[in-house]
Amino acid sequence: MTATQAPEAPVDAAEDAVFSVRDLWKVFGPKADRIPGSEYAALPPAELREATGCTAAVRDVSFDVRKGEVFVVMGLSGSGKSTLVRCLTRLIEPTSGTLAIDGEDVLAMDRARLRELRRHRTAMVFQHFGLLPHRTVLDNVAYGLEIQGLSKAERRSRAAELVEKVGLAGLEDRRPSQLSGGQQQRVGLARALAVDPSVLLFDEPFSALDPLIRREMQDEVVRLHREEGRTMVFITHDLSEALRLGTRIALMRDGGIVQLGTPEEIVGSPADDYVAEFVRDVPREQVLTVATAMRPPLAGESERGPAVRPDATVSAAIEAVSRSGDPAARVMDGGRLVGVVDHACLLDVVAGTSATDGPAAPGTPDAPREVTL
Ligand SMILES: Nc1ncnc2c1ncn2[C@@H]1O[C@H](COP(=O)(O)OP(=O)(O)OP(=O)(O)O)[C@@H](O)[C@H]1O
């Protein structure tokens, strides 16, 4: 496809969008390109397969990945997560729709431009580390820089910096087989960071690790994200991982996105019964913020009670109230009293009886509700 034939990149993309995806489909099977927009498009998966022999792995999906966020793609096995993320760099060719990175139409890219997209602008971290077994840790990390054409001295010095950054200093000369699973994943992470990509793509990177190491690696991602603010797209089927890491979460089912929102929106205002069931066992007080639970202050309430920020979790407010012995906490935003959370507000959240889908309160992170697709 040439640049002149390609569909335009989305014009309604968010200003800070790194990826903009609109009406994206990936259909596997015979005459796949006839499915989007046809009478078959709305059929449930089994009926679509029965009628056409096709599988819609990604079904009419639209979203932006914003600069600096951790965008989590979550869903059960077979929901379309990997296919969707592989479409972003055309490792899998989309069937239809539009797709842009930093405003540039990805579907119009020629081979050379695509190579540059995959090697320099994005980097992928996989579950099966994909390390080169005969190379040392340092050389594995330097590998991405080799294909970028940096000199040997530059490669080694940059690689050494990254090995240190992911906590592997001292292990530079080991081979992958001499490392634990968590350490191998750190090498994979350092190798991806080495090319300084605008977006890091993670495909279930930690699902083969045991729970403690997995938690450690999640902390590592949180730390790296905090330090560097790099944009990340993270696939997982694990809800607690999604809630820990995600700035926003796209919850997929049968190729479509059933809800896209912050962890608080997903847990506090599930879009439908499917999402509600998915998040049923999540301790709400650890995800929902005080901004969602608070009520307006009454006369005289401005003086008493511990101060909490609107973005504190309800769980933190419960702790503050119970320590102070006061009947309520004051919600302070930049020195201003914006609300109060008393025992009833806090218990409502724990019991799941709070109305969390009212208008976003001042100070709520990411205040406007995200599109529910
Ligand atoms: N090459 C292919 N040919 C036909 N169908 C495919 C192909 N790749 C994926 N699919 C189907 O597309 C759907 C989505 O698959 P995908 O691997 O994207 O899901 P996933 O959510 O990443 O699953 P998992 O968590 O198990 O990796 C599944 O029904 C799968 O069987």
**HEC states along 319-368?**
HHHHHHCCCEEEEEECCEEEEEEEHHHHHHHHHCCCCCCCCCCCCCCCCC
Same domain, yes or no: 136 and 230: yes
**CATH assignment of the domain containing 317:** 3.90.1280.20
Is 204 a residue whose pLDDT tops 50?
A: yes
The protein residue with its alpha carbon nearest to ligand 1, atom 29, reads 78
Total domain count, the chain: 2
Residue 29 lies inside a defined structural domain of this protein = no
Q: Which residue has the higher pLDDT, 161 or 130?
A: 161
Cα 138 to ligand 1 centroid, rounded to whole Å: 34
Output the pLDDT for position 7: 52
> Same structural domain for residues 211 and 306?
no
Residue 81 within a domain = yes
| Ligand 1 centroid from CA 322, angstroms | 48
My answer on whether 227 and 334 are in the same domain is no
**94 C-alpha to center of ligand 1: Å?**
14
Instruction: List all residues whose CB is within 6 A of at least one atom of ligand 1.
Output: 28, 55, 57, 75, 77-83, 237
Strand order in the sheet with 336-342: 307-308, 328-333, 336-342
* pLDDT number for residue 147: 74
Spacing, Cα 84 to ligand 1 middle (Å): 9
Closest CA to ligand 1's atom 24:
77
- Are residues 262 and 178 located together in one domain of the fold? yes
For position 195, which CATH number holds?
Answer: 3.40.50.300
What average pLDDT does this structure show over 172-177?
A: 94
Residue 366 CA to residue 133 CA, distance in Å, equals 43
The answer as to whether 174 is a domain residue is: yes
Least confident residue range of 108-112, 190-194, 306-310, 315-319: 190-194
Q: Is there a single domain that holds both residue 161 and residue 240? A: yes
Of all atoms in ligand 1, which is nearest to the CA of residue 237? 25
| Residue 213 sits in the same domain as residue 71 | yes
- Asked whether residue 199 is domain-assigned, the answer is yes
**Atom 6 of ligand 1, residue of closest alpha carbon:** 28
Mean pLDDT of 305-326: 92
Confidence band (pLDDT; 50, 70, 90) for 128?
A: confident
Residue in the structure block whose two tokens are 């994943």: 185
CA of residue 57 to ligand 1 center, whole Å: 6
* Least confident span in 10-14, 22-26, 29-33, 121-125: 10-14
- Taking 60 as the threshold, does the pLDDT of residue 4 lie above it? no
Enclosing domain of residue 261: 65-278
329 and 268 belong to one structural domain: no
**ipTM reported for the complex surpasses 0.85:** yes
Query: pLDDT confidence of 350, banded at 50, 70, 90?
Result: confident
| Ligand 1 center–CA 182 separation, angstroms | 26
Dist. CA 168 → ligand 1 center (Å): 34
Judge whether 333 lies within some domain: yes
By alpha-carbon position, which residue is closest to atom 28 of ligand 1? 78
At 372, is the pLDDT very low, low, confident or very high (cuts 50, 70, 90)? very low
Q: Phi/psi zone of residue 38: left (φ > 0), alpha (ψ -120 to 50 degrees), beta?
A: beta
Q: Is the pLDDT of residue 99 over 90?
A: yes
Atom 4, ligand 1: residue with shortest CA distance: 28
Same-domain status, 325 and 272: no
Which residue's C-alpha comes closest to atom 30 of ligand 1?
78
Structural domain ending residue among the three candidates 262, 278, 294: 278
pTM over 0.95: no
Q: Is the pLDDT of residue 248 over 60?
A: yes
User: 124 C-alpha vs ligand 1 centroid, how far in Å?
Assistant: 18
Distance 288 CA to ligand 1 centre (A): 33
Same domain, 325 and 178: no
Ligand 1, atom 16, residue with closest C-alpha: 80
Asked, for residue 10, whether it belongs to a domain, the answer is: no
Structure confidence at residue 360 (pLDDT)? 38
Q: Which of 255, 278, 301 is the last residue of a domain?
A: 278
User: Is residue 34 very low, low, confident or very high in pLDDT (cuts 50, 70, 90)?
Assistant: very high
Lowest average pLDDT, out of 44-53, 171-180, 262-271, 352-361, goes to 352-361
Q: Domain for residue 55, yes or no?
A: no
In ligand 1, the atom with minimum distance to the C-alpha of 45 is 29
Q: Whose CA is nearest to atom 31 of ligand 1?
A: 78
Give me the mean pLDDT over the 284-300 stretch.
Answer: 89
- Final residue belonging to a domain, choices 233, 258, 278: 278
In testing the pocket of ligand 1, which one of 25, 27, 28, 31 has its CB within 8 Å of the most ligand atoms? 28
- 83 Cα: distance to centroid of ligand 1 (angstroms): 6
Tell me which residue has its CA closest to atom 1 in ligand 1. 28
Report the chain's mean pLDDT, rounded to a whole number.
Answer: 87
Residue with CA at minimum distance from ligand 1 atom 27: 77
Which atom in ligand 1 lies closest to the alpha carbon of residue 56? 12
Q: In this structure, are 157 and 295 located in the same domain?
A: no
The number of beta carbons lying within 10 Å of the beta carbon of residue 175 is 15
Note whether 272 and 310 are same-domain residues.
no
Q: Is residue 76 part of a domain?
A: yes
Average pLDDT over residues 348-357: 70
Q: Are residues 292 and 157 in the same domain?
A: no
